[in-house]
Amino acid sequence: MAPDAETKERGDIARLARILKLILGQLLLLVLVLIAVVFAGEWYARKKFPDLAYVAERQQRPEDLFVQFDARYGWANRPGADTRFRRRDFDTHVEINERGFRGPVFAPPDSVFSVAVLGDSYVFGHGVEENETFSALLREKWPFAAVGNFGVIGYSTDQELLLLDDVVLPSEPDVVLLCLYRNDILDNGQPTAWGIYQKPYFKREANGELKLWDAVEPSVPLSMRIRREIQRRFVLYDVLAFRLAGLRAESHGEDPAAASGESGPSESERLTADLIDTMASKCEARGVRFLLVVLPGLSDTAFLANVPPPGIGSQLDLAPAFEEYERLHPDSALGFTYDSHWNPRGHRLVADTIAAKVEVLGWLPGSGPPSSAPSTSSK
């Protein structure tokens, strides 16, 4: 090779090396900038949304302490669990009885007035002692009654329907209270995962009937677990995936849930109403009175106007009681500082409000005639 050609080739190689080095340097700089942007965004998101920051920072999880896989429900309380549940806002003792629920075993004799309470973590008593839950406070108010706490953290209405069939109705209660929270509406009919578990769900068939899809695996797919862990550890993910999607949807008159990948509100609301009506009808068929307790937080309760249907149950919306309390006691919070769940004051208010409603309905032994309720001749 001629000296000039060899020199030219070496020069070309050197120039190519410099170009590659420049490209790699720019890519590295871009990666560093992106990392800095992500961390800056995460810092801002934690400041802007302290409730989400709390979720990302909390360490103890129920599935590590007192919850286990269940082939029927997806997950369930672990019978016999006895542990402490600690987070920034609380340090509580959690004990699960032999039947898999919090509080005394619910096995009332026929002669005892009995109330079964179904719901999620709000019923379970997330963050409060067992004797501070509104179920326990109802037992205090009604010393003549047995009140069973069938709350399981993370449950939605579809799982509660299964629990009603399997456990609650066979116990022959006089009254069933079903508590509905806002996330239940989107979770119903979805194979969503809570913690590390999947859940069964119902679908509405073309003829309007509910069909159970119960292919529950012991653990969720790896992709879903990775997404769940990212969501739990990075507030920015939650903001980008849900908060901004919701804002975009609202600006276009769409449903925020649909924009973030969940089912639309009309279908999820119809399914939720069907699930509640089914539960009320099952209670009516057994001579059990049914009360739907709507927890504060629902942005729109219009779809619950006739749920359950008149004549086979009643409804109690807790929002007015909470609003009135907050108006009269602006410096006395009903929930924890970081956690969205009720503190002992919140549970006390719920117990007082439910007790007053049940009394007005005439459902207590020795009270006036029942208000639009079936008889309890089954007991």
How many angstroms separate the CA atoms of 172 and 115, rounded?
Answer: 9
Shared-domain flag, residues 158 and 292: yes
* The predicted structure's pLDDT at residue 265: 47
Q: How far does the chain reach from its first CA to its final CA, in angstroms? A: 106
Shared-domain flag, residues 39 and 164: no
pLDDT, average across residues 231-250: 63
Shared-domain flag, residues 39 and 81: no
pLDDT band at residue 228 using 50, 70 and 90 as cut-offs: confident
Q: Where are the alpha helices (DSSP H) in the chain?
A: 3-48, 50-57, 62-65, 121-124, 134-141, 157-163, 182-187, 222-233, 235-238, 244-251, 256-259, 265-285, 319-328, 344-361
Shared-domain flag, residues 166 and 295: yes
pLDDT band at residue 249 using 50, 70 and 90 as cut-offs: very low
Q: 222-233 and 50-57 helices cross at what angle (nearest 10)?
A: 120
pLDDT band at residue 38 using 50, 70 and 90 as cut-offs: confident
pTM here?
Answer: 0.79
How many angstroms separate the CA atoms of 346 and 334, rounded?
Answer: 4
Bridge partners, residue 1, by sequence: none
pLDDT, average across residues 235-244: 68
* The predicted structure's pLDDT at residue 5: 67
* The predicted structure's pLDDT at residue 356: 98
Shared-domain flag, residues 212 and 158: yes
Residues contacting residue 10 through CB under 8 Å, at least 6 positions apart = none
Among 86-100, 227-241, 316-330, the range scoring the smallest mean pLDDT is: 227-241
Shared-domain flag, residues 269 and 304: yes
Shared-domain flag, residues 334 and 299: yes
Closest by CA to 154, choosing from 177, 115, 187, 176, is: 187
Quote the number of domains for the chain.
2
Shared-domain flag, residues 154 and 12: no
* The predicted structure's pLDDT at residue 230: 75
Shared-domain flag, residues 84 and 206: yes
230 domain-assigned: no
Q: pLDDT at residue 118 above 80?
A: yes
Torsion of CA 63, 69, 73, 76, to 10 degrees: -50
- Domain span holding position 106: 59-220+263-361
Shared-domain flag, residues 81 and 114: yes
- Convert the pLDDT of each residue in 199-219 to its tens digit: 999 998 888 889 998 878 877
Angle, alpha carbons 29-40-240 (nearest 5°): 105
How many angstroms separate the CA atoms of 306 and 131, rounded?
Answer: 34
Q: 344-361 and 134-141 helices cross at what angle (nearest 10)?
A: 50
Structure tokens at 373: 């309720």
- Convert the pLDDT of each residue in 58-104 to its tens digit: 556 787 799 999 999 999 999 999 999 988 889 999 999 999 999 99
367 domain-assigned: no
* The predicted structure's pLDDT at residue 2: 61
324 domain-assigned: yes
239 domain-assigned: no
Shared-domain flag, residues 85 and 42: no
Angle, alpha carbons 331-332-337 (nearest 5°): 95
117 domain-assigned: yes
238 domain-assigned: no
Shared-domain flag, residues 37 and 174: no
- Convert the pLDDT of each residue in 154-166 to its tens digit: 999 999 999 999 9
**What CATH number did the domain enclosing 185 receive?**
3.40.50.1110
Q: pLDDT at residue 125 above 80?
A: yes
